[in-house]
Chains A and B, each alone.
Chain A
Amino acid sequence: MTQPMRIRAKLKGDEVEAKILIQHDMETGLRKTADGTKIPPHFIKTLIVKYDDKVVLESVMGIAVSKDPFLSFTFNGGAKGGTLSVTWIDNFDETRTDTVIVD
């Protein structure tokens, strides 16, 4: 059970600046525990960000992205009061969606 994503979406001039902090182990599958057992891979495969049902960012992630990933980006066409929703799907086919209202 992961913690909710911390999402901030702020209108700055014409653009909305989105900052997303995700709690996820992003385990590469290459690490081992102290006794030498390999830890199975567990990482986000896809991240989709939608503004009011329109996809504004789609990201293919993988084991090169570090634990508890943070990403920040801007997009046009957003306004205060709109809904930003962030969804990730990982290699276990687990998924999580969190939403926030644009400020």
Chain B
Amino acid sequence: MRRMKQLVFFVLALHISIGLYAESNSLEESDIYKELIEDGNPAEFREMRGDELWHKKYAPNNVSLEQCDLGKGPGVIEGAYVELPRYFPDVNKVMDLEQRLIYCKTTILGLTYEQAVSSPFSIAGQSSEIEALVSYITAASKGMMMAVKLEHPMEKDAYEIGKKLFFYRAGSHDFGCVTCHSSNNKRIRLQNLPNLLVANDAQATYTTWPAYRLSQGEVRTMQHRIIDCLRQQRFPEAKYASDAITALTMFMAKNAEGGIYNAPAIKR
């Protein structure tokens, strides 16, 4: 029982010290988080669930997602995430992971689009299948180098449009992504802000999403974070799995070139 109290105290102390030492640079913080991940990341449970869902036979077609092509061939998940977003010839457009999963859910499993995009984010009382699938698929890129190519003209377009979106200041507060994410070593309240225009911060950020978010008790994807940023920017509601999100994702993924992918991670 004393050990238990010691453990609670230690965890509390760790959390308080993370708060007070938030002036620390991103490097120290990522060390703290690395330790936490090594200890045990609840994202692993979502990875296991994603594994089940990837292989599960769904009605009405009674097939599984196992033949879904994420860009490296049907069923190949190893290294797929670090090459996304990418151009897919079968749909003649650039897709990110979630758009592609929705595509596979509709074409392979026979779900309607509405069914495929329902419950993208776990909420109280309702788990999200997409979050579990994303956890499983992203884990299969862990340890690999970011490898997003801008070869196809549409991939270049997505990058450039994402860049325009990044710098676009509008709305009541004149906010754009650029407002918070274009300077080094700044923070909002106690949350450090990565400079997404420079390689080291862009790498450290992009390679640690999705993440089990302690504040949410769930694995949250990069898309979830982007949509929430846009809300806080006083922008209108970004549509889930839209091309605007893919463009921003492409911009960030390409800027993270050279980073070693290390997700699902753990964050506050």
Q: Consider the complex of A and B and state whether they touch directly, i.e. have CB atoms less than 8 Å apart.
A: yes
Determine chain A's interface SS by DSSP, over half rule. strand
In the complex with contacts A57-B4, A66-B217, A73-B7, A21-B42 CB distance below 8 A: yes
Interface residues on B, range: 10 to 19
- B1-23 contacts to A, CB under 8 A, are 1, 3-4, 7
Interface residue? A72 (CB, 8 A): yes
Query: Nearest CB to that of B124 among chain A residues?
Result: A31
In the complex with contacts A19-B39, A21-B40, A31-B124, A3-B45 CB distance below 8 A: yes
Given A58-B1, A67-B217, A68-B42, 18 other A-B residues pairs in contact with their CB atoms under 8 A: A6-B44, A21-B39, A21-B40, A21-B41, A31-B124, A33-B124, A34-B124, A39-B124, A39-B125, A57-B3, A59-B1, A68-B212, A70-B42, A71-B4, A71-B7, A72-B39, A73-B3, A73-B7
Measured CB to CB, the residues of B under 8 A from A are 1, 3-4, 7, 39-42, 44-45, 48-49, 123-126, 212, 214, 217
Residues of B within 8 A of A71 (CB): 4, 7
CB distance from A1 to the nearest CB of B (A): 10
Most A Cβ at <10 Å: residue of B4, B49, B125, B212 = B125
- A31-50 contacts to B, CB under 8 A, are 31-34, 37, 39
CB distance from A45 to the nearest CB of B (A): 14
Interface residue? A23 (CB, 8 A): yes
User: How many angstroms from the CA of A68 to the CA of B49 in the assembled complex?
Assistant: 14
User: Please, what's the 1-or-0 string for A76-93, where 1 marks a CB less than 8 Å from any CB in chain B?
Assistant: 000000000000000000
Interface residues on A, range: 20 to 34
Pairwise interchain contact A33-B123, C-beta atoms closer than 8 A: yes
Pairwise interchain contact B39-A33, C-beta atoms closer than 8 A: no
Pairwise interchain contact A68-B124, C-beta atoms closer than 8 A: no
In the complex with contacts A21-B42, A39-B124, A72-B217 CB distance below 8 A: no
Residues of A within 8 A of B125 (CB): 33, 37, 39
Residues of B within 8 A of A57 (CB): 3-4
In the complex with contacts A31-B124, A39-B124, A68-B217, A6-B40 CB distance below 8 A: yes
In the complex with contacts A23-B45, A34-B123, A39-B125, A59-B39 CB distance below 8 A: no
- A1-37 contacts to B, CB under 8 A, are 3, 6, 8, 19-21, 23, 31-34, 37
Measured CB to CB, the residues of A under 8 A from B are 3, 6, 8, 19-21, 23, 31-34, 37, 39, 57-59, 66-68, 70-74
Contact of B40 among A19, A39, A67, A73 (CB under 8 A): A19
Residues of B within 8 A of A20 (CB): 40
Most B Cβ at <10 Å: residue of A31, A32, A39, A71 = A71
Residues of A within 8 A of B214 (CB): 66
Pairwise interchain contact A3-B49, C-beta atoms closer than 8 A: yes
State the 5 A-B residue pairs at the shortest beta-carbon distance, nearest first.
Answer: A21-B40, A68-B42, A67-B217, A23-B45, A3-B45
User: How many angstroms from the CA of A34 to the CA of B7 in the assembled complex?
Assistant: 34
User: How many angstroms from the CA of A90 to the CA of B123 in the assembled complex?
Assistant: 22
Query: Nearest CB to that of A37 among chain B residues?
Result: B125
Query: Nearest CB to that of A23 among chain B residues?
Result: B45
CB distance from A27 to the nearest CB of B (A): 8
Query: Nearest CB to that of A65 among chain B residues?
Result: B8
User: How many angstroms from the CA of A57 to the CA of B39 in the assembled complex?
Assistant: 19
